[in-house]
Structure formats: C-alpha cells, structure tokens
Amino acid sequence: MAKAARKNHNGGITKSDPYAGADARKGKGKAANNIFKMNTDIGQHILKNPGVAQAIVDKADLKQSDIVLEVGPGTGNLTTRILEKAKRVIAVEQDPRMAAELTKRFQGTPAAKRLELILGDVIKMPELPYFDVCISNTPYQISSPLTFKLLATSPSPRSCVLMFQREFAMRLFAKPGDKLYSRLSVNAQMWAKVDHVMKVGRNNFNPPPQVESNVVRISPKNPRPQISYAEWDGLLRVAFVRKNRVLRAEFLGTVSVMEMLESNYRTFCAQNDIAVDDGPSDTVVPEATMDIDGGTEDNEHDEDMEVDEDDDLPDFFKEERDRKESRAKENPNRKRKGKVAELVRAKVKKVLEEDTGLADKRARLCDEGDFLRLLYAFNQEGIHFS
C-alpha cells in the first residue's frame, strides 16, 4: 500500500507519494496559466494534451522547407511543435489577447523570426498568403467556410491537417444516401483526398467543448480537376438548398434560382454576342412556388428539411424572402413571364428531363458523376452558376 503524503516543515510534499507532488504541481500550473477566460463563443478551446499536439504535427509530415498556415494558434501549443520542423509559420489569430500571449511566448527566441502573426478573421481575408501545409485546431464555428476556402485556394496546399467537431468530420466522408451527405461531402471528395487521422476526446481541451473531435487530413488533388470551382460550387449550392427535394423542384420550383440563372444567361449572351429577344411573352404561367411538378418531399424526410450549409447560403436566397413578401402584398398569383425567362426555363427543363434524366432524383442520392453530368449539360445550354 502506498504511503500517504506527508508535509515537511516547509509545507511542501515529501517524496513518499510522488503522485501527490504531481497533483500539487498540476494545480499550481493551472492557476498560473489561467490568465484570462476563454471565449467559447468564438471556439476557444485550447488543446492541452502535448501528446495529441505532437501527433497532429507528425501526421502533417512537414519538411524543413515548408511554410505552414496555422489557423487559431491560441497560446501556441501546436505552434511550438510546428516551428521545430517547418521553415516558417504564418499564424492567423482573431483574439488580440491570444495574439499577445503568442507573441510573448516566442519573444526573444530564435523561432520568433520564423513566426508571422496576422491578427484578424481568416474567413474575411480576401486572399490567403502562400503556404504549403495548413494545420488548425479549428474553431467549430468556421469549420465549413474554412474548408471551402482551403479547397478553393490556388495554388493548392500539399495537405491540410484539421481538427473538427466529430459530426462535421463525418460529413467529409459521407457517401450518397448517408444522412450526413451534403454539399460539403461532394466538394471535399471532388477536390481532395480525405483521410481520418485520429479521434480526440473533449477532455484534451481547456475548457472542454461539449462535443468530441476528430482530426482529418485533406490532401487536394494534383492536378486539380479541370472544372471551374465557382461553377461547380454554384451548382451544388442550388442542389443542396433542400437536399431531399427532387432536382426538378430545386431548380424549376424556386423563384430565386430561376432569376439567378436568367441573369447569368443574359450575361453569357452579352459576353458572346448572342442576340436575345427580351420582349414580354404571350404566355401566362403560374408563379413558381417552392414545390411543383411532384417536387414535394416524402414525409419520412421532413425532419431533415433544414437548409444545408445555412451559413454559406448565397445572398440571392436570403433576399428572395423579402421579394416574396413584397409580391404577396400585391397578390400576383399569376405572372406574365418574359421571353428570356421562358427560354431559360425550357433549357433547364431540357437538361433535367432529357439530357441527364435526373429531374426526379434527389441531391442526397446523387453522386459526383451525376453532378458532373448536370454541370456539363447546363454549360452546353449556356446556363452558368457563377
């Protein structure tokens, strides 16, 4: 039986119980490091387990010539280990208090010259600086926009090793028909190879988050797929606004989508010197509604009807709500369409029903090949999404 810890005359802990001494030192360190309260509203959960931090850096397979972008460095627990292996670290930190702590930690050390600190919101940065690898204990609130920003970066980084909320990480791997299958799943798997690295329990953070975490490695494909990222993502934004609706209703049954496609078609014609008849149509058609042509969902899927990727929802969808309210006050149950609007509608219907045969298929069941067929067919008709 281990002997109980005894206090010596100086009030310290004797060596008869080394665990008691460790506990005392741990308590002292905790008090010393509690400099300020973490702001969990912006995802401040500091990774405190050195073993996990080292494993993340090891999985990044850094080279001595690498420039590493670190998002949300916090107090620098990952930064220290990255600087041991990489040429330079560009750390983007939103909280001035954290930035000050990070600066203080490396001030006067040889590594200070190889650390560039950018104070600001990485999502609002118009352009990311050049980097070879991204490593991030990602604030959960920016998981989706950060992933899309990294996927769209050109030139592509070699890899991104990112900590995510477990459910979000699982969406990266999801396949057609899975409950978590989304625009994120299709985009990630189109542009990159996604590997699971490790699970990380909530107790490895200070303060502990309410969810478990996973680390994933996203390795962009090289060469990149020869399609426009803006076009591809624009198509997916439309398809996954309501992933359980059939594509006919997603396109033809949503006013804002048809108005956006009509506007893009006008731009396409103007850029390619194609004359269009912009006069009013003689045909009066019903005002498009949110569900037409058999586009209603099965009742069993009603619980999944929330807008997918709501934080990234295009402005034209949000603005449509205001336009609908305005039209409702004027009671325009039927509306005379212009010839361009009719032409675009006919083209969309042709793509969905004749060219691809995907009109009655739901986005949650479409795979990468289906979306590529859609994009090609739409572009052949002069219909663009960016």
Spell out the domain ranges in the chain: 40-220, 229-380
DSSP 27-92: HHHHHHH--S---GGGT--EE--HHHHHHHHHHTT--TT-EEEEE--TTSHHHHHHHTTSSEEEEE
Q: Where are the beta strands (DSSP E) in 221-263?
A: none
Which one is the CATH code of 40-220: 3.40.50.150, 3.40.50.11540, 3.50.50.60, 2.60.420.10?
3.40.50.150
Q: Establish whether 93 is an annotated binding residue.
A: yes
What's the CA gap between 89 and 97, in Å, rounded?
Answer: 19
Give the confidence band of 40 by pLDDT, cuts at 50, 70, 90. low
Q: Establish whether 379 is an annotated binding residue.
A: no
Q: What is the mean pLDDT of residues 77-89?
A: 97
Span 229-380 CATH architecture: Orthogonal Bundle (1.10)
Cβ contact 217:331 at 8 Å: no
**348, two tokens:** 């969309």
Give the confidence band of 39 by pLDDT, cuts at 50, 70, 90. low
What's the CA gap between 238 and 142, in Å, rounded?
Answer: 21
Determine which of 26-35, 230-239, 240-249, 335-344 has the lowest per-residue pLDDT on average: 26-35
pLDDT greater at residue 195 or residue 304: 195
Bridge partners of 115? 89
Kindly report the average pLDDT of the chain as a whole number.
82
Q: Establish whether 277 is an annotated binding residue.
A: no
Determine which of 46-50, 262-266, 288-292 has the lowest per-residue pLDDT on average: 288-292
pLDDT at res. 319: 54
The answer to whether residue 262 scores a pLDDT higher than 50 is: yes
**384, two tokens:** 């663009």
Q: Establish whether 203 is an annotated binding residue.
A: no
Q: Establish whether 121 is an annotated binding residue.
A: yes
pLDDT at res. 236: 96
pLDDT at res. 41: 54
Amino acid at 47: L
Cα angle 280, 285, 290 (rounded to 5 degrees) comes to 120
Whole-model pTM: value is 0.72
Q: Establish whether 72 is an annotated binding residue.
A: yes
